[in-house]
Structure 1
Amino acid sequence: MTRRPIGYYVHHQGAGHVARARLIARALDRPCTLLGTFHAVDPGVASVLDLPDDRIGEGFDGRDHAATRPLAFHYAPLGIDGLRGRMARIAAWAAAADPVLIVVDVSVEIALFARLLSVPTLVVRLPGDRTDAPHLEAFRGAERLLAFFPETLDGGANPDWVRAKTEHVGFLAAEPTGDRPAEDGSLVVVYGRGGAGGHGADLAAAARAVPERQWHVLGPVADVPSAMPANLHLHGWVGEIGPHLDRAALVIGAGGDGLVSGVVARAKRFVCIPEPRAFDEQVATARALAALGAAIHRPAWGPPEEWPALVRAGLALNPARIASLGRGDAAGRAARLIGAMADGLDPGDRAPRCVG
């Protein structure tokens, strides 16, 4: 008997969504198709529905701010061909594939659209204040909610019914395996795909202020000065940040899922400098980590004279605090949860579809 497939919608802000979708899709024991815009990243799985880009411009915050926008949506601009094509392609795929479930990571609009297509959803919850009407309606329409962070970090503003509906599978990261490089005392600064990157002058000033440490910077850096301190190393994009994290005595970076998962999995001392995101998701993560003594929260990069004390404070952290937030095998737990949901929704005696 052919098992009905699962759809997995992947948001195109940052690399974290597609990274965890790839891990989970590979762990599922049922066919899974990733739905998303993949022009800038390899989804890494065989079954993909590549969607037209619906963004009205680079750098927007995911909301259209139109006065006529229905209150159940964040993003429903008028006259956007990419948005129309995106929804049409999802509808055509759903009609042809008959998915048992769509995992939505993340989009209020896709979650509600799937409901209109009569497809059950499992909606991913991100950190931050998501008590606005669109989020709550997407949560209400979902069968279950999935959080890739521990319950310890769940914000107190969320209604009880949202918490009760949520499965916290924990931080998802590829678990370090085999022999890992020993720490070499270096500082590693990480900039991800979803942010603005670093500024060369700021990095150079910080490196000069802490000359006894080697600074290794991963990701994009703009405005690099011609004269760079000898202890500052700009690596740009790297294929795998894990070996750099392994060697670091202290990691400095934003509060995105990918980096936070990596430092938790490796029990790394962490200075979290959250980047601007809608609904303050990174700020919420940074504050929660700091409240637990698991990281230092720094709202912005800061002047060079503050870096010696900040590095000392970061190095004084007890790495057991951040390690305690990890459970291991989050991808496996998520895949088992999704698979069990699919099995419950597809008992094998489903009435035939009416296809016009």
Structure 2
Amino acid sequence: MTRPIGIYVHHQGAGHWQRACLIGGALDRPCTLLGTFAACDRRDAPGPLIHLPDDRIAGFDGHDREADRPTSLHYAPLGHPGIRERMARIAAWIAEADPVLMIVDVSVEVALLCRLLSVPTLVVRLAGTRTDPPHLDAFRSASRLLAPFPADLDTEDMPDWIRARTIYSGFLGAAPAPAPEDGRIVVVFGQGGEGGRLAALSEAARAVPDRAWHVLGPVQDVGGAASRPANLHLHGWVADVGAHLAQASLVVGSGGDGVVAAVVGAGKRFVCLPEPRPYDEQASKAEALARLGAAIVQQGWPEGADWPDLVRRGLALDPARIAGLAEPDALARTAAGIEAMAREIEGRPRPGG
């Protein structure tokens, strides 16, 4: 019987879920996703789901608020029943399903748990400065690493041994159907951030009145609709972001994986506004895009008076630069690499019998 692959899916933002669905759907063997899926559209799941209890503490801000913890761990609050049950369910599924491989996207603690359970891992390595002791231990514990971006966007000072262990998937996902650009500016807010604010968006649209502004994703304070300029259009969550991007002359968005992958796939001029993230994940990616001439980068939401110049500079970009980062075969190539890794593992004799 073909042994399955498990994918651990982190619950911050939508990028981990989208990546897991794409990879799982492209594999030629059974695939089970393990994670906290309350905010996900589970109809997209490529296989069975193992729902895990939430591991966040009250007032969660990314930190466990412990004064001391082992140097190999990032997040290990004491006395949390959700974490205890979460790890127990992962271990129980591994014991029952006997997976050939666990893809961990992302968690140092889950990567180390899988290693302790004698399961080979493919650990997802996000952008940013991830050379702290916990990340390095997770990388050492892994059979291989998977970077969900092109090698050209990697951190310049990344150690050679980490690069050598890394499969660079490139940006995954299909390019939208081409459509004529109509001059619009499309602003994209992803699931992992706070969304936009109507007052700030209105100010931007008034500063560049000759362009239609189309906003995708959550917007706060929408009650002030009476003061909204006529060229500002709020769409909320949309099923097909690509259809909106295809018509855009310029895209404004964060440095999150999902947003950047969508813009790269559409080959659009990009003003990147990286949001604060641990390990400078978005800032690092934005800096690499700017270095390649593929985006204009601005820290924080711009003041109204700054928008005309930002739009002018964004429209002056050569869209071929960002389009050149797209790889049409990225998903198929990545899935084939994972399959080859799984077959190689299956071909090894098992220690102890």
TM-score over 0.5 for the alignment?
yes
String of CA shifts for 1:302-343, please: whole Å, max 9, x gaps. 111110111000000000111111112222112111111111
Matches within 5 A, 1:1-356: 2-43=1-42, 44-45=44-45, 46-57=47-58, 60-61=61-62, 63-177=63-177, 180-224=178-222, 225=224, 226-347=226-347, 350=350
CA contact (8 A) 2:69 2:76 kept: yes
Separation of aligned partners in 2, 1:348 and 1:145: 20
Q: Secondary structure at the match of 2:251?
A: strand
The structural deviation recorded for 1:42 is 2.2
Q: 1:303, 1:92 → 2: CA distance?
A: 52
| Contact map agreement 1:131 1:157 (CA 8 A) in 2 | no
3-state SS of the aligned residue for 1:35? strand
Q: Tell me how far apart the structure 2 counterparts of residues 214 and 250 of structure 1 sit (CA, whole Å).
A: 11
In 2, the alpha carbon distance for the partners of 1:338 and 1:60 equals 33
Evaluate the alpha carbon distance shift between residue 231 and residue 58 of structure 1 in structure 2; reply closer, same or farther with a 3 A threshold: farther
Identity value in percent: 61
TM-score normalized by the length of structure 2:
0.96
Q: Secondary structure at the match of 1:314?
A: helix
CA distance in 2 between partners of 1:304 and 1:73 (Å): 42
1:272-308 CA-to-partner distances (Å, cap 9, x unmatched) read 0011111110000111101111000000111111101
Separation (CA, whole Å) in 2 of partners of 1:256 and 1:59: 20
CA contact (8 A) 2:197 2:220 kept: yes
Give the Cα–Cα distance (whole angstroms) in 2 for the partners of residues 11 and 308 of structure 1. 38
8 Å CA contact 2:253, 2:259 repeated in 1 = yes
**Offset at residue 25 of structure 1 (A):** 0.6
For 2:58 and 2:127, the matched residues in 1 are separated by: 25
Matched residue type, 2:28: D
Q: Aligned partner of 1:35: which letter? A: L
Paired amino acid for 1:155? T
Query: Any conservation in 1 of the 2:176–2:243 contact (CA below 8 Å)?
Result: no
Counterpart CA distance in 1 for 2:350 and 2:157 is 39
The count of residues paired between Structure 1 and Structure 2 equals 349
Cα 1:58–1:259 shift into 2, 3 Å: farther
The 4+ residue runs of structure 1 with deviation greater than 4 A are 348-353
Contact 1:173–1:258 (8 Å) recurs in 2: no
> Does structure 2 retain, via aligned residues, the 8 Å contact 1:185–1:213?
yes
Cα RMSD of the aligned pairs, angstroms, is 1.4
Does the 8 A contact of 2:174 with 2:328 survive in 1? Answer: no
Distance 1:351 1:312 in 2: 62
SS at match of 1:251: strand
Measure, in 2, the Cα distance between the counterparts of 1:266 and 1:9. Answer: 28
Structure 2 unaligned spans of 5+: none
- What CA distance in whole angstroms lies between the structure 2 residues aligned with 1:324 and 1:67? 46
Using the alignment, how far apart are the partners of 1:59 and 1:188 within structure 2? 31
> Would the aligned equivalents of 1:268 and 1:319 in 2 still touch at CA under 8 Å?
yes
Maintained 8 Å contact 1:27/1:332: yes
